[in-house]
Structure 1
């Protein structure tokens, strides 16, 4: 049987522990009961509004989790809840948040700072550092010490519903460069990073929330792209890496010759990917965390009582998420007592969890204040500075994808009567911000346009009327905020039935433009539109930057980090 126990050096990268810190890890491991060790392997979703009650219920089952992932709540509540968790926990906790683009994924009443693809569109690696500094400031303010970021997936497939603007684009070198810059900055501020989603998303066009997906690159190409990105992330000092419910058949076949297709496992269940590739070939000495273990991409592979402990046996050190907390805890306990998870594998995983905590100084909380660079500013000053930086990044990222009809700049004397058709612009689980169309419309009106607004889907049913829009309007602007909603295998435009009355059937007679502040691939659905702008991040800053470009007040200097035509030649016309 393939061994899943790899050599662990607490003094080497990424831990760099001093003798006293190593002693704390070893003393703590030796002092823990089996139940307490199993608890350290659990990273639970923090859903509750009553932390003391939740903790009492967990303790009643003998569960003392090693970490939590904070789900959306107000900044004040998040700060209180995290402080309460650290007060109650006998061992300092890893407290995670999806710090991919700022705090929008876990704090209510906020907005993104900049999506990774917007960072890539500026072409300036310093913007990745700026994003990381913003994330560090918010993290320190709330008590977050673990970033489930950066996304170093490579956007090879425009149809992928997960990667999209969460990535730094389709160029492997750019992804590696910007991901490493983000990692170095956040790690220097004692926020552990977790590059994801190993072995790499962006090749398949499906969502692991719903199905186990594949990275179907051949082994040499994987090593030159995703493998290189992970090697760079490891060298940059990433303390943890997130393993995903994604298969890599070429690597598995290389390491397990003759394996039947039905036996090829996703990374979370594949010791050859976690042990031979991630730890062996790439030299990762840190902690491996799973992606959400409640995703169908994981639960559909094996029964829960088999798959959950099998992931730990395969090399995952901390399991994210649960189906039922006590149920999963009991499954792991039984697996330890039965030998499915060996004592050595259990202790190896616990050591990596504790070493991550020690490397962050969580057992010495006072040491963390030494790296809080954001403390140089008052909270108000920091927010103002962040607003200026957000505006600047948005301005430098705006990409004029095409204007083959030479519509721009808009001119109130020629384009006074405007129809704005809104696509999406609804809150999602991953990004509840917005809506942003009202700001866009106000900006048009402030510049002298008379604007009517329609939404997709609309209530119209008159096809001839849809073809006579040019009699009423001088210009039509599709304002699109189409973004990842989670639990969907696609991000595409869905028009009003029947026959899409709100689709751009009128482009031959009415000048029309597309403004997308999120999904960069929408031209594949509206290739007939001859003017298109991409902004990559739904924020007020992006809206203002787009308006400035539309009216010739600013030059569009951003460059698309992906093929905005999604490989369709007609979309480039």
Structure 2
């Protein structure tokens, strides 16, 4: 049963009538199409013509581009569609991630790394303002996973913290902030990531908490957020053995499925026990956590039959549309289940007022884009960075560094590969050098063997670089060393750790015994597992200029550290905390 007059839809009689009459007016192909959210891989109008005219999709998520390109793309799509579209974005850090020129305000972990809960609200508010200006109306956020396992890097920076209490507090604040712009949210990833150390992009993962433990932690998060009014929930490709067994006691181990395909978890737990009335959307359907569970022809309709209302992304539009239609024809998707899904999809659109908005007003005018990446929003990011840059340890009292005593800085960069978004992870080192030089330091940037070879040097190998770098003259040449690590990336590896440039690489902090050494993480909070020898560790959270500038202010003593951390930073390992 779907109650469109209750939370989170809260529709009036006229709105409900629109939902019902629209469903009744649809062809079968239009009904099937509404179940899909397309990942728009082209900005060409002819591409959108095919997506809208042939597959009648209910929603879209676009690939990365500047805000003006995104806005024009959305405008064309809305103008082409008979039924207004849900336009999703991924504003997990503010406007960044939704547009190339959006503001990186804060990561989720950063927003949980200071007692001030308004940080999360500011992040959500900027996210809403910038994405709404582009024409988006649906946020795949906040992330309400709990970072219980320090080895889990897919949510290492994408979780507000390691306890249910901090996740609940900050997720509510984010939701309240983004709701100021009228955006609806899809919190994720039910039944909860952060227990398994692996990444469901590349393997099915499992929330292995006991039933009671889950109820007290993840269950508490979902109960609180549902009561707070969240409109939709993204189901992850994450299984929950204890929960499935609680609801289906006779289920065998080899019958356990990720939640996306598990009716006992969506309909029994989320709908039944937790009472969620809103829309359920699957996580991306190309992730191995889903695709390794059963053949594609079966899993496409099985996700809807299990209780998902919308299916995130085609693999091949023609194939997946056919699989979904075949699943309906064969009875895998019942008439009742299809109608329930359509009611929630149209109900969410009606709750946004899309059905009452003239087509030419569904997307703001180009002038609205002035807020994207604005000076005001970058100032918010700077204030948040000042509050959240965290001193994890300084056991040898290396800080502060100042140009009078530590003028000659050896600067190292530890860079991860580009993640699946294609974002260049390497620009941080230039920012760090500029910010250090602006404060009067003389900066000497280390280049590894590959970088020197690329610059045309011959006869350079890791042995020769080590010989150049690691010798008795090091302390004569440099007064201090600073290492910036921007090791990001998920969706390509089961977990993420530092990968040095070569065996026994010269950038590994052997020099901690030679000069004061400061290690700064611009991403993952768990680097002490790989560099326990460093005595001064700072977590700056992200590689923005605001975060790096605030970090150097604190390294030099120009401002005090205000950020906090949780015990995940010690990695449960001996020798990381001294």
TM-score normalised according to structure 1 size: 0.94
Partners in 2 of 1:489 and 1:413 — Cα distance?
A: 45
Total equivalences in the alignment: 562
- Aligned 8 A contact 2:234 2:280 in 1: yes
Task: Mark the CA change 1:368 to 1:89 in structure 2 (over 3 Å): closer, same or farther.
Answer: closer
Q: CA deviation at 1:23?
A: 0.3
Q: Secondary structure of the residue that 1:194 maps to in structure 2? A: strand
Shift of 1:357: 0.4
The reply to whether residue 259 of structure 1 matches residue 251 of structure 2 is yes
Matched, 1:523 2:518: no
Match among 18, 22, 25 for residue 19 of structure 2 = 25
Partner of 1:3: none
Moved more, 483-492 or 127-136: 483-492
1:482 corresponds to: 487
Instruction: Give the counterpart of 2:167 among 169, 175, 196.
Output: 175
Unmatched runs of 5 consecutive residues or more in structure 2 = 451-460
Q: State whether residues 425 and 437 of structure 1, in contact with CA within 8 Å, keep that contact through their aligned partners in structure 2.
A: no
Offset at residue 265 of structure 1 (A)? 0.6
- Per-residue CA distance 1:459-518 (angstroms, 9 max, x = gap): 532445443233422211111111124311122111132223321122222321101121
Q: CA separation of 1:263/1:382 partners in 2, compared to 1, >3 Å: closer, same or farther?
A: closer
Counterpart CA distance in 2 for 1:150 and 1:542 is 21
Give secondary structure in 1 for the equivalent of 2:217. helix
Query: Is 1:155–1:562's contact at 8 Å kept on the other side of the alignment?
Result: no
Alignment partner of 2:43 out of 35, 49, 53: 49
Q: Contact between 1:176 and 1:233, CA under 8 Å: does it hold in 2?
A: yes
Q: Is 1:432 equivalent to 2:423 in the alignment? A: yes
- How far apart in 2 are the matches of 1:309 and 1:382? 40
Equivalent residues in 2 for 1:8-23 (5 A)?
8-23=2-17
1:461 maps to 463
Distance between the aligned counterparts of 1:355 and 1:128, measured in 2?
Answer: 28
Q: Which moved more, 1:413-422 or 1:454-463?
A: 454-463
Q: Distance in 1 between matches of 2:3 and 2:172?
A: 22
For 1:407, the equivalent position in structure 2 comes to 398
Counterparts of 2:424 and 2:94 in 1: how far apart (Å)?
Answer: 12
* SS of equivalent to 1:400: strand
Unaligned residue ranges in structure 1 (runs of 5+) = 1-6
Check 1:99–1:368 CA distance in 2 against 1; reply closer, same or farther (3 A cut).
farther
**Contact 2:145 / 2:189 at 8 angstroms: preserved in 1?**
yes
The aligned counterpart of 1:280 is 272
- What displacement does 1:173 show? 0.3
**Is the Cα–Cα contact under 8 Å of residues 95 and 372 in structure 2 kept in the other structure?**
no
Partners of 2:403 and 2:74 in 1: how far apart?
52
Deviation at 1:445, TM superposition (A): 2.0
Match of 1:4 in 2: none
The TM-score with structure 2 as length reference comes to 0.93
Q: Tell me if structure 2 keeps the 8 A contact 1:187–1:237.
A: no
Report the counterpart of residue 40 of structure 1 in structure 2: 34
Change in 2 beyond 3 A, CA 1:167/1:455: farther
Deviates more, 1:405-414 or 1:456-465: 456-465
Q: 1:38 to 1:380 in 2, by over 3 A?
A: closer
Aligned to 1:184: 176
Residue 138 of structure 1 aligns to a residue in which SS?
helix
Residue in 1 that maps onto 2:320? 328
Aligned to 1:152: 144
Counterparts of residues 265-344 of structure 1 (less than 5 Å): 265-344=257-336
Distance 2:76 2:147 in 1: 39
The residue that corresponds to 2:127 in the other structure is: 135
- Contact residue 422 and residue 437 of structure 1 kept, 8 A: yes
Deviates more, 1:308-317 or 1:463-472: 463-472
Query: Distance between the aligned counterparts of 1:125 and 1:480, measured in 2?
Result: 27
What is the correspondence of 1:87-126 to structure 2 with a 5 Å cutoff?
87-126=79-118
